[in-house]
């Protein structure tokens, strides 16, 4: 006869660490995303993969850093990106990461991770609206650039 095993009883919750004011109530364009993400991140020297959760009216509800990478690499897993979205009952997400090189051109890895996140979001019911790549003074909206066409 095997001995009994103890099972932990747990709960999961989001913890608010801080807040920031956002002058627009809704996200209406990639430019709105760029401005909010730029304000949130400031000047960073490595890749941060950031997720903004939105409600059904495209109002940001929270922002989280899903991963901090190195100078030119960030390993992003859909589980980590969608965790906050699921816990906060988000209708959709917009992802963002800076290229410390200053060139916002999406890399092949950026394209691959975006496709994986779109697919994972469809499975769990959280739509990925865009993936913004930040440069020094510019950005690329992967949706506007056609990377979402094969959704």
- Cβ neighbors of 13 (< 8 A, separation 6 or more) are 87
19 SS3 class: coil
Counting residues of the chain whose pLDDT is more than 70, the rounded percentage is: 96
- Is 31-141 a domain of CATH 3.40.140.10? yes
Read off the pLDDT band of 6 (50, 70, 90): very high
Q: Is the pLDDT of residue 73 over 80?
A: no
Answering whether pTM is above 0.85, one says yes
Instruction: Please give the full DSSP string across 69-111, using - where no structure is assigned.
Output: --SS-----HHHHHHHHHHTT-SEEEEEEE-TTS--PPPHHHH
Reported as half-sphere exposure (CB side, CA atoms, 13 A), residue 118 has a value of 16
Q: Tell me the domain boundaries of the chain.
A: 31-141
18 SS3 class: coil
pLDDT in tens, 44-56: 888 899 999 999 9
1-15, 42-56, 66-80, 127-141: which has the minimum mean pLDDT? 66-80
Mean pLDDT value across residues 80-107: 94
Identify the pLDDT of residue 115. Answer: 95
Strand partners, 139: 134
Identify the pLDDT of residue 43. Answer: 83
């Amino acid at each position: 006869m095997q001995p009994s095993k103890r099972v932990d009883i747990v709960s999961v919750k989001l913890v608010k660490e801080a807040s920031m004011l956002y002058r627009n109530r809704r996200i209406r364009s990639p430019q709105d995303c760029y401005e909010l993400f730029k304000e949130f991140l400031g000047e960073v020297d490595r890749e941060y993969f950031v997720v903004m959760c939105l409600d059904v009216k495209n109002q940001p509800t929270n922002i989280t850093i899903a991963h901090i990478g190195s100078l030119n690499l960030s390993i992003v897993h859909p589980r980590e990106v969608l965790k906050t979205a699921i816990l906060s009952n988000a209708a959709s997400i917009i992802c963002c990461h800076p290229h410390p090189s200053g060139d916002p051109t999406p890399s092949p890895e950026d394209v691959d991770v975006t496709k994986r996140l779109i697919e994972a979001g469809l499975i769990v019911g959280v739509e990925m609206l865009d993936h913004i790549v930040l440069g020094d003074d510019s950005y690329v909206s992967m949706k506007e650039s056609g990377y979402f066409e094969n959704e």
